[in-house]
Structure 1
Amino acid sequence: MSDSDGNTVFTDKEKSADAVKTPVRVYCVGCYDMVHFGHANSIRQAKLMGDYLIVGVHSDADIIKYKGPPVMNERERYKMIRALKWVDEVVEGAPYYPELEEMKQYDADFIVHGSDITVDPDGNETYRHFRAAGKFKECQRTAGVSTTDLVGRMLLMTKTHHLQAHNPVTGDDITADKPGATSTSTMRSPYTGVSQFLPSTHILHQFASGIEPKPGDRIIYCAGAFDLFHAGHVDFLAEALKLGDYVIVGLHTDSEINRYDGSNYPIMNIHERTLSVLACRHVHEVVIGSPYKITEDLLNHFKIDIVVCGTRNTHVEPCVDGSDPYEIPKKKGIFRQVDSKSELSTQIIVDRIIANRLRFQRRNKAKEAKEMRLIDIMEKKKQEACAQET
């Protein structure tokens, strides 16, 4: 109804109905192996489609049965998904191939999946039943990142990677400006093939918390590489947050990490690492390209109360001039060390990949073959539909 001036006026009954509006419950499901910012971005998009986000994560047993052993075990994968700031609930051991009955079980309104193609053992598109029932919504795949790509980068960590003349992801021969370059792929599938991530201020804004520290908050600062952001990092940041109210992570530059870690580190560049860390619910702000040595200026600028360093899998190299990077916070009495209680490290993940090189190559090639068969079928159906219209 409207008042005398033509403005809409809601009755008490209408206001009451609006106030008790049923929250929209959204469901996602997946392996979420080696969770990266692409996974996080799909989950972020899914949360925007509703009010409450439920994420189902497959068990190790199911992944081994249908796909092959995952890089990260189920305990690590459950922890990573719970750590994403957009997730409200995690379903452990969710069925590998989702069924409509799951929607009733979790009281979900619809299921969300990316624009990439997934197929069942018979080669059919996995979400066709949800589409037919009007219970499916699509989010956009994040271009420039995939688990396949990250695996390829790690397979190049061997001492002889510069001599390889084949794609480390698939084992196929390649032609590239630099032998073994991961930016080149013989894969034809747009979903399995690798590409280059292009950062933008828009996506940084989407991932940023936008939360400012409140007066009286104790501000915690943690600096490091946070490469291949994993469950060990999550445990460390959760412990760091217990010391205060607001966590700032300082990310070292790629060149600085290469100086103290050597080899081909970091696996992920600074833009990729920034998004991965920003997606964590224990982090409020990120300093991109923070100085290796913690300076008085940095402490004052961010009003830092406590500087935290981990005790496990943390080897602190001296600065270029030989000084201790934590010298100033130690002198000020604000330096603390915390135990994440996790043995997982970036090096352990790399070792897992290298130790199972052939297995991952076979898995990725089989995945692409399934995708290409379905792409061919979809293209044929499209052509037939066009022919009928004409």
Structure 2
Amino acid sequence: MSTQPSRVKVWCDGCYDLVHFGHANSLRQAKLLGDHLVVGVHSDADITRHKGPPVYTFDERCKLISAIRWVDQVVEGSPYVTSLKTLDQYECDFCCHGDDITLTADGSDTYKEIKLEGRYREVQRTPGISTTGLVARILGKASRSPWTGSSFQLSTRKIVEFSGGEARKVGDKVVYVCGGFDLFHVGHVQFLEKVAELGDYVIVGLYSDEVVRGYKGADYPVMRMHERLLGVLACKYVSEVVIDAPFHVTEDLVNNFLIDVVVSGSLGTGEEGVEDPFKYPKQVGIFLQVNSESDVTTETIIERIRRNKFQYEERNERKEQKEIDLINDKHS
């Protein structure tokens, strides 16, 4: 008599600060190694002790990780140093992490114990993106990180890998939203979660860098369109993305994608003198406005970093120097 194969549970953990497509790509790769992905999120206190103050709050980081389409379970406040006890507590077969090294404040490898026991797997770190690098961009500093310093090239394969969810079905109620989705944050997630409740298939129209600059100014967006694209695609509430979407939701756009409802956040563009991008859907009665019930915006995230500029500069310098030293040790 045949028996069902046992389910393989994979453990990942991290700070997941300024959650970006590099984090999502690591979790995507980890999920491919098993059937059920458990993700531990470290506390603000632990991150501050070992790395420096996080930008996103603990609740924000947990909410963002839970919205990534490959994550099955989130463990809040997981220990900074990963132990066999933690893996066994959550019945995980092994732990997975990127091919860089994470260290404690005293320079110890946070995965040393599970590596010695053979319960550690590695996936490829995504080049060209890191929390350290994003903070450096916002502060107008050049990143010295050996990982962030390399470039990331978007390919059709990567878009396919990040695209998920069920295919659109006949009769699905299609909901359309649009925006820049820069520095993907908890306000975006809460908005998209509410939007997903309004229909069966959510299409996000993603503005180009030029369009975002047109209504927000020369300092925006912080993240380039291909970076923002992967961040949006990784969200489990999103079914499809229109790349380089028009600023104005036109009749052609609505007809081409068979859109039933067009939704905007309560903040809108917030720019005086800008022609209403939702003029057409309002005229035909398919427009709705949704309040994310979050006061977090891209601007408030940038303000957090600039307000604590010296703390984040010091954190970045320590982190980048550790990475440079590790690279040098490997090649010595």
TM-score (norm 2): 0.95
Aligned pairs (5 A) from 1:45-60? 45-60=29-44
The answer (yes or no) to whether the contact 1:123–1:374 under 8 Å persists in 2 is no
Which of 66, 85, 97 is equivalent to 2:81? 97
Between 39-48 and 263-272, the greater mean CA deviation after superposition: 263-272
Q: Determine which of 301, 313, 317 is the counterpart of 1:349.
A: 301
Which residue, out of 53, 59, 63, partners 1:69? 53
Q: CA deviation at 1:303?
A: 0.6
Match of 1:235 in 2: 190
Q: TM-score, normalised by structure 1?
A: 0.82
Residue 306 of structure 1: CA displacement?
Answer: 0.1
Once the two structures are TM-superposed, the CA of residue 132 in structure 1 deviates from its matched residue by: 1.7
Contact 2:53 2:312 in 1 (8 A): no
Partner residue, 1:262: 217
Structure 2 unaligned regions, length at least 5: none
Q: CA deviation at 1:324?
A: 2.2
- Structure 1 residues 349 and 40, CA gap change in structure 2 (3 angstroms): same
Structure with higher Rg: it is 1
Could you tell me which amino acid in structure 1 is paired with residue 292 of structure 2? S
User: Do structure 1's residue 315 and structure 2's residue 292 form an aligned pair?
Assistant: no
User: How far did residue 375 of structure 1 move?
Assistant: 4.0
Provide the C-alpha distance between the structure 1 equivalents of 2:296 and 2:190, rounded to a whole number of angstroms. Answer: 10
Distance 1:149 1:375, change over 3 A: closer
Supply the distance in 2 between the matched residues of 1:324 and 1:318 (Cα, whole angstroms). 10
Which of residues 135, 141, 149 is equivalent to 1:194?
149
Quick one: which of 249, 265, 268 aligns to 1:294?
249
For 1:326, give the aligned amino acid: F
Determine the structure 2 residue equivalent to 1:108. Answer: 92
- How high is the sequence identity, in percent, across the aligned residues? 51
Which residue in the other structure is 2:323 paired with?
371
Q: Distance in 1 between matches of 2:106 and 2:215?
A: 48
211-220 or 41-50: bigger deviation = 211-220
Amino acid at match of 2:298: T
Query: How is 1:114-193 mapped onto 2 (pairs within 5 angstroms)?
Result: 114-156=98-140, 168=141, 182=142, 185=143, 187=144, 190-191=146-147, 193=148
> Considering only aligned residues, what root-mean-square deviation do their CA atoms show, in Å?
1.6
Alpha-carbon distance in structure 2 between the residues aligned to 1:49 and 1:79:
24
Cα shift readout 1:255-286 (whole Å, capped 9, x = no counterpart): 11101000310111111111000000100000
Task: State the Cα distance separating 1:233 from its structure 2 match.
Answer: 0.2
2:201 matched residue in structure 1: 246
Q: Which ranges in structure 1 are unaligned for 5 or more consecutive residues?
A: 1-12, 157-167, 169-181, 381-390
Residue number in structure 2 paired with 1:324: 276
Deviations 1:222-259 (A, max 9, x none): 01111111110000001111111110000111111101
| Residue in 2 that maps onto 1:306 | 261
More contact order relative to length (CA 8 Å, sep ≥ 6): 2
